[in-house]
Amino acid sequence: MLDELVDSFVPTMDRIGERVEDLGEAVFAGRQVQNDVFALRRDLVTIRRVMGPMGDAMAVLLRRELGLFDEETRHYLHDIYDHLLRITQTVEAYQDLAAGALEANLTVVSNKVNEVARTLTAYAAIFAALTLVSGVYGMNFEHMPELGWRLGYPYALGLMVALATGLWGFFKRKGWL
């Protein structure tokens, strides 16, 4: 009965192993997997909570000084205990892989946020330059040489277009846009 109970965890561990592999693929495909990782970790904790006391009970049953079982039965119980240890080690390995998948996912998300922030910063710099020029030409100075020109207004607009185009090209070359 103990052997059947312990062996009943093997198909469950196989399914969890497939889930871990799917999570790894999903992370590198760029999908959001936090909820899946948390669900997997919850399942692994549940299995570990069941397996831990079973392992402790088996360790007590295997003590020679108790003299509860003959050598053949103890050998059989030791085999069951080995299966328990193997499943516990697999759970620990899957927990580590799930933690790694979560960290990788957070890194991917962080990189995407950094790209968006960089793009927004580039556009803010472009509009800051335009705001500077329009702010200077919007002041009411009497002695600005460009105010006396007939082409002063087109000059200001041209300066703004040149600044915006130059900054846009600069940020495009740097890969920010």
d(CA 163, CA 132): 11
**Fold of the 116-173 domain:** Methane Monooxygenase Hydroxylase; Chain G, domain 1 (1.20.58)
Give the start-to-end residue ranges of the domains of the chain.
Answer: 2-112, 116-173
Same fold, 2-112 and 116-173: yes
**Fold of the 2-112 domain:** Methane Monooxygenase Hydroxylase; Chain G, domain 1 (1.20.58)
> Are 116 and 38 contacting, i.e. CB atoms less than 8 angstroms apart?
no
Q: pLDDT by residue for the chain (177 residues), tens digit each?
A: 778 888 888 888 899 999 988 888 888 787 888 889 999 999 999 988 888 888 888 887 777 667 777 778 888 888 888 888 899 899 999 999 889 888 888 888 888 899 999 999 999 999 998 888 888 777 766 666 666 777 777 887 888 899 999 999 999 998 888
Q: Which two tokens stand for residue 95?
A: 């927990």
Enter the pTM of the model: 0.65
